[in-house]
Structure 1
Amino acid sequence: MQTLTKKIAVVGATGAVGRVFLDLLDEFFPGEKELYLLASERSQGVELACGSQVFKVSDLSKFDFSEVDLAFFSAGASIAENFAPKAVEQGCSVIDNSSRFRKDKNVPLVIPEVNGSVLDEVSVPMIISNPNCSTAQLLVALKPVHDLFKIKRVDAVTFQAVSGSGQIAIDELLSQTEKLLHGENISPSVYDSQIAFNVISAGNLEDNFYTDEEMKISNETKKILDDSINITATTVRVPVVYGHSIAAHIETYEDIDQIALEDKLTSQDGLIRHDSKDFLSPNPIEHAAGKNPVSVGRVRADLWEKNRVNMWIVADNLRKGAALNSIQILKKLLDK
């Protein structure tokens, strides 16, 4: 375990991802830490724990980023746009969890297990982006396939937990579930449709009839793993609190050797491979929620084509999909 000597600001500390980040910060860097928890003015004074330490939340708009070495942002794209460049100007590096800078060619988009080597070349202070939560878990599982057989095309369907939309969405799912079980009427607000006992599209529709969630997966895969990969995604929101699941159908340039692939998956950093004979594993409740690794299972050769393989991937969207990935980036920066 490392000792954290750097001063860290956590922007969006009161949110679902911010709270998980604090838990993981203490898990990876036990001991006393100098933290500055930041949120909107209405959250000022709220107390949050990181291990045995308790910190009060301060108003982001009044914070001087020259006081810290690094800031973790998980407060949405508009907050990142307004405050992240300011932080860098004041000498503070930023790890941003929003979508704001992911397509910027001058901003590294990083999954440490996949393309962490790009951090060897960065000069701080600068902005480093986290990918979309689904992209993060998908590419940890795709990297071994690409390393062995070179991926040509991926078709992915995501089953995304409501926590990806924040605490307000968790509250809405639980409230709707309780009301419907008691025969009461509901009025959806976070999502356009009822989410309890339902499956709905995830994201906002774009001009090409794909959602922004679907386009994030496509664009980010090309930037992180390989620009030559053709990838199409269908993203749906499901009434699960924690843990995204993905069904991935992969076509490669070379024929698949399943034994070699399973061995490669087993040795991949940040990944747990489940025996394909166990068709109930992995699942988000048992193998994702509250856990750090990505889990992959149901690895099976295509029925018709020798260069295709299918797999099922689950992970905690607040951990590997957000907070954990940031912690891993932080660790690599500290090792520079």
Structure 2
Amino acid sequence: MTISDHLQELHGLPVFDFPDAESKAELPQAASVAWRIAVEAYESGEAWEEALARFLAAVDTTEVRALVVGAWSDVYDSPPDAVITALLDAKEQLPGLRAIFLGDITFEECEISWINQGLVTPLLDAFPELLEFGVRGGQELEFPAVRHDKLRSLTVEAGGLDAQVVRGIAASDLPALEHLDVWLGTSWYGANAEVSDLEPILTGVRLPRLRSLALRNSEIQDQIAVALSGAPVVPRLSTLDLSMGTLGDEGAEALLNGQPLTHLEKLDLHHHFLSEPMVQRLTKTFEATGVEIDLSEGQAAERDSEGREDRYTSVAE
């Protein structure tokens, strides 16, 4: 799977593409949409921060609720330092901003594992009223531990996350967080986290309001499932998402034999490597208790020359 479409919604608002400088299109009310600001990913004639300046001059910035940062120039080769600086400089003009997504970039613009990132947490520090934050791309991504009292949703999408990033997310104090979605990725693209790096998330000590947990797109999906089978955070969840990774019968068996999951509203396991008998067991077990379970996109593992299974994550390059 590749990311072929831009975000359609953020913070409950439809995404609207802020037009280029030549456009005469009528703009919607500032509070009615999530504004996507982007330039050409390859040799753009306009810098992203110049597009932001046009935007700030064109709309009532006090009414802006959500911003989607699309491609910046040479995104495959340049981090978003200037983008982040421009947003920090504009913070006083955006008192109502409640959601930011950094890196809404499709594979045609730049493959996910080639998106250059950097230190993104200054945006959380600068916008203490932010409720939603998302970032796409793991290359050079930095996410040291932070505290944010208002953030309710955090999403980090990558083809491969460095363990230091995972540890930073896990060590963050986010007392209002309700939804956490982390794409761990594959070692082919830099993923090197271990289950032990997730321990603060699994205990839930710093996440007292967490209700939706996604630890997905991972090549260690079985190990994560085993850890979750007894993790203290699970009883408080309504949604558990282990999709898009390499989940096999070992991980599924742990989920079935571990602590009860019948309190969940949804268990998402789509894109998996489960045997048909295991799919039937899971279906029978969870449908009988009213839990919505997604077992779509079953994959057949390839085998190497020595007969070992070669599983793959849904999103890598």
Which category describes the TM-score, using the shorter chain as reference length? 0.3 to 0.5
TM-score using structure 1 length: 0.33
Higher helix share: 1
Higher RCO (CA-CA < 8 Å; seq separation 6+): 1
